[in-house]
Amino acid sequence: MITKNSIIYIAGHKGMVGSAIWRSLTAKGYNNLVGATSKELDLRDQIAVRDFLQKTQPDVIIDAAAKVGGILANNDFPYQFLMENMQIQNNLISEAHNLDVDKFIFLGSSCIYPKLAPQPLKEDYLLTASLEKTNEWYAIAKITGVKLCEAIRKQYDKDYVSLMPTNLYGIHDNFDLNSSHVLPAMIRKFHEAKENSNAPVILWGSGTPMREFLFVDDMAEAVVFALENKLPEHLYNVGTGEDLTIKKLASTIQKIVGHTGDIIWDDSKPDGTPRKLMDVSRMHNIGWKHQVNLEEGIQKTYNWFLENIESFKEKSY
């Protein structure tokens, strides 16, 4: 039985998703949250993870920790994306099981689904066809996490559940142009171009792929929902169930930022998956739905970017 006093360990609590979960739980009165920075605890180290969990004795583990990045990072560092993500989740899942932690919430990504799966993506499409080549390393790692949680649930009847978010964005996002995802990268590019006399903005690809985006605070609410309820299935998609073209996304961000220059599409760069829309009916059917629309979420994210812009200026590209 989860109470406001339950010990809840959030792995990756300083990241965009983990910090949103922490904010949400704190706002709801949960007062026994546990976190450790990557300097305090290397989640790739099995012995360190075991010692930490034995010391803290959590009732719940939320795995929001991962090595993440966009197409460029996935292409350049395939070994790290596969190995380090497997190390992180395997250590957490295995030690949670060994310590008899009864509730585990594993966070993955919509990239676990086949590249050309029918749209919208249903949970049942997992492992039915080939993955997108540009991020298959990360996807394979996350698939193993989903299957581990399913196996423990099936074999030991523990409440281990996997939530697969669509593309997330929001407060504490990564705005590093070498490793960020498309939405925060666009915010930064349009802002800097606006500051540079509304210079043209060059964007990768054709702009035709369709993408779905979920504000990170909505993702946090989905995690809290999974925490407070025993969900009947092992795997759930978390998203809005709505998508738009990358071109439409660009024009939306351009308008919110206030950039009035040209947009140039570099179609020599890869597009990635043509469309990636989540079927979120499984979550809707049990009572969860997103609350923040895209324009509102982008505005909140841009406001946070502006408030923290000095920390981004410290890096040069």
**Annotation-wise, does 191 bind a ligand?**
no
- Establish whether 138 is a catalytic residue: yes
**Annotation-wise, does 110 bind a ligand?**
yes
Q: Are 70 and 175 in contact (CB under 8 A)?
A: no
Q: Are 235 and 146 in contact (CB under 8 A)?
A: yes
**Annotation-wise, does 17 bind a ligand?**
yes
At CA 291, angle to CA 285 and CA 294, rounded to 5?
120
**Annotation-wise, does 259 bind a ligand?**
no
**Annotation-wise, does 165 bind a ligand?**
yes
What distance in Å separates the CA atoms of residue 239 and residue 199, rounded to the nearest whole number? 34
Strand order in the sheet with 275-276: 244-245, 210-211, 275-276
Nearest partner of 224 among 16, 20, 7, judged by Cα: 20
**Annotation-wise, does 235 bind a ligand?**
no
Residue 180 identity? S
**Annotation-wise, does 239 bind a ligand?**
no
Angle between helix axes 16-27 and 216-228 (nearest 10 degrees) is 60
Q: Are 137 and 154 in contact (CB under 8 A)?
A: no
**Annotation-wise, does 12 bind a ligand?**
yes
**Annotation-wise, does 179 bind a ligand?**
no
**Annotation-wise, does 42 bind a ligand?**
no
**Annotation-wise, does 159 bind a ligand?**
no
**Annotation-wise, does 297 bind a ligand?**
no
The residue annotated as part of the active site, out of 138, 160, 169, 236, is: 138
What distance in Å separates the CA atoms of residue 282 and residue 296, rounded to the nearest whole number? 25
In 166-272 the beta strands, taken as DSSP E runs, fall at 167-169, 201-204, 210-211, 213-215, 235-238, 244-245, 263-266
Please give the DSSP secondary-structure letter assigned to residue 108.
-
Binding-site entries for NADP(+): 12-18, 107-110, 142, 165-168, 181
Q: Specify binding-site residues.
A: 12-18, 107-110, 142, 165-168, 181, 189, 204, 211, 271
Residue numbers in the known binding site for substrate are 189, 204, 211, 271
* Residues with a known catalytic role: 138
